[in-house]
C-alpha cells in the first residue's frame, strides 16, 4: 500500500482512536444496562452497577414476563399502535403524495402549498390539547396514539419526489388502455415504490414504537400505556411496577427480594430488543432515507 509519513500515521491513529472510542461509547450504556438486568438485587445494592454480572440471575426477566401483566400489556399496545400507525401512515401519505405528481391535476400547486404550510406553523400545545380532548374526544383512546401522527408534510414530499422520478409514460399508456387513476396508483405506482415505502414505513414505525408523549398528555388508563411510557413511569416512580406484582410474582421470585433496578433495566432491554434484532435491516433503509431527505427535502 501507499507509504504514509509520520504526520499521516499520527493522524490516522488519532482518527482510529476517535471513531473507535466513540463507537464503543455508543455501546457502553447498553452493555451496563444489560449486565444490570441480569444482576440480583443483593449484589446491586452492595456493588452498584458493574461491567460484569456478579451472578447470572434471570429473576428480573421472569418477573417481567410472568410476574406482572403490565409489561406484556404495554408491549401489546405498542405492537398494535406501531403496526396500525405504520400502515395508516403509508396509506394516507402515498394517497396524498401521488396526485401531486400528476400533471393533469390543476390544483396540484395549491394543494402542495396547503401541505407545505403546515411545516411552518402550529397552533401549539393548548389548542391541540383542547382539540383532542374536547372536540375529538380521544382521551384514553388508543386511536390518539395512531391517528394524529399518521401524516406529515415532510413524508409527503419525500414520497412525492420519489413518485416524480417514475416515468410519466407508465401512467399515460395505462390511461390509453382505459385504466383510471385509482388503478394506476394502486396497481402500477405503488408496486414500483417499495424502496420509499420501506423507508417511510420504517421512519414511521420507529416513531410509533418510541411514542410516549401522547400517552403523557392523553392517556390515564394504565391498560393503554405504551412500552416507552411504562419505562418512564418505572424510572420516575421506582415502585411503579412493584405494586402490580401479584401472587405469581412471589412464586417467580422464590423468596428473593424484588430486583427494582433489574426490573427497570430488563424492561428497557425488552423494549429495545426488536430494534437490535431488526437492526441491519433498519440501518440499511434509514441510511437510504436520510440521504434521500438530504438530497432534496
Partner 1 sequence: MRWVLREINVNKFLYALLLPGILFFFIFNYLPLVGLYYAFVDFNPMAGLYGFKSEFVGWYNLKFFFTSDDWIHITFNTVFLNALFIVTGLTVQMLMAIGLNELRVRFLSRTFQSLMFLPNFISWTVVAVFASAIFATDGGLLNQMLNAMGLQTFNFYQDPDVWPALLVFLRLWKGVGFGTVIYLATIAGIDQEIYEAAKIDGASRTQSILRITVPLLRPTTVMLFILSIGGIVVGDFGMIYALVGDNPLLRPTTDIIDTYVYRALRVDGNIGMSAAVSLFQSVVGFIMVLSANGLVKKMDKDSALF
Is residue 258 within 8 Å of residue 245, measured between CB atoms? yes
DSSP 250: H
Could you say which of 72, 232, 249, 253 contacts partner 1 (CB under 8 A)?
232
- Residues in 182-211 at the binding interface with partner 1, rule: CB under 8 A: 182, 185, 206, 209-210
CA distance 216 to 139: 11
For position 142 contacting partner 1 by CB under 8 A, the verdict is no
Among the candidate windows 119-127, 166-174, 193-201, 245-253, which touches partner 1 by CB under 8 A? 119-127
Among the candidate windows 54-62, 91-99, 241-249, 250-258, which touches partner 1 by CB under 8 A? 91-99
Rounded to a whole number of angstroms, the minimum distance from the CB of residue 73 to partner 1 is 17
If you write DSSP's letter for every residue of 187-227 in order, what string do you get? IIIHHHTHHHHHHHHHHHHHHHHT--HHHHHH---GGG--H
- Residues in 157-186 at the binding interface with partner 1, rule: CB under 8 A: 180-182, 185
x/- map, 251-270, partner 1, by CB under 8 A = ----------x--xx--x--
Rounded to a whole number of angstroms, the minimum distance from the CB of residue 255 to partner 1 is 23
Measuring CA to CA, how many Å separate 25 from each of 18, 39, 73, 278? 10, 22, 33, 21
Rounded to a whole number of angstroms, the minimum distance from the CB of residue 202 to partner 1 is 10
Query: Measured from the CB atom, is 49 or 173 closer to partner 1?
Result: 49
CA distance 248 to 218: 31
CA distance 218 to 191: 37
Amino acid at each position: 500500500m501507499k507509504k504514509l509519513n509520520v504526520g499521516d500515521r499520527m493522524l490516522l491513529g488519532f482518527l482510529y482512536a476517535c471513531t473507535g472510542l466513540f463507537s464503543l461509547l455508543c455501546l457502553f450504556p447498553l452493555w451496563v444496562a444489560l449486565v444490570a438486568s441480569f444482576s440480583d438485587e443483593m449484589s446491586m445494592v452492595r456493588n452498584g452497577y458493574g461491567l460484569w454480572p456478579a451472578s447470572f440471575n434471570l429473576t428480573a426477566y421472569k418477573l417481567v414476563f410472568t410476574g406482572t401483566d403490565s409489561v406484556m400489556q404495554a408491549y401489546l399496545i405498542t405492537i398494535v399502535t406501531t403496526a396500525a400507525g405504520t400502515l395508516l401512515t403509508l396509506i394516507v401519505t402515498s394517497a396524498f403524495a401521488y396526485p401531486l405528481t400528476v400533471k393533469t391535476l390543476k390544483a396540484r400547486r395549491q394543494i402542495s402549498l396547503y401541505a407545505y404550510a403546515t411545516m411552518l406553523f402550529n397552533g401549539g400545545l393548548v389548542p391541540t390539547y383542547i382539540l383532542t380532548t374536547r372536540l375529538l374526544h380521544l382521551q384514553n383512546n388508543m386511536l390518539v396514539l395512531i391517528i394524529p401522527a399518521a401524516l406529515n408534510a415532510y413524508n409527503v414530499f419525500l414520497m412525492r419526489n420519489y413518485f416524480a422520478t417514475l416515468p410519466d409514460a407508465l401512467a399515460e399508456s395505462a390511461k390509453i388502455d382505459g385504466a383510471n387513476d385509482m388503478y394506476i396508483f394502486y396497481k402500477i405506482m405503488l408496486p414500483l415504490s417499495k424502496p420509499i415505502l420501506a423507508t417511510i414505513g420504517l421512519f414511521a414505525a420507529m416513531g410509533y414504537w418510541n411514542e410516549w408523549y401522547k400517552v403523557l398528555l392523553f392517556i390515564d388508563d394504565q391498560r393503554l400505556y405504551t412500552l416507552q411510557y411504562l419505562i418512564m413511569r418505572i424510572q420516575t416512580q421506582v415502585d411503579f411496577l412493584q405494586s402490580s406484582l401479584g401472587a405469581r410474582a412471589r412464586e417467580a421470585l422464590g423468596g428473593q427480594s424484588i430486583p427494582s433496578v433489574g426490573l427497570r433495566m430488563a424492561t428497557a432491554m425488552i423494549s429495545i430488543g426488536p430494534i437490535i434484532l431488526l437492526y441491519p435491516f433498519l440501518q440499511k433503509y434509514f441510511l437510504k432515507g436520510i440521504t434521500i431527505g438530504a438530497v432534496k427535502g
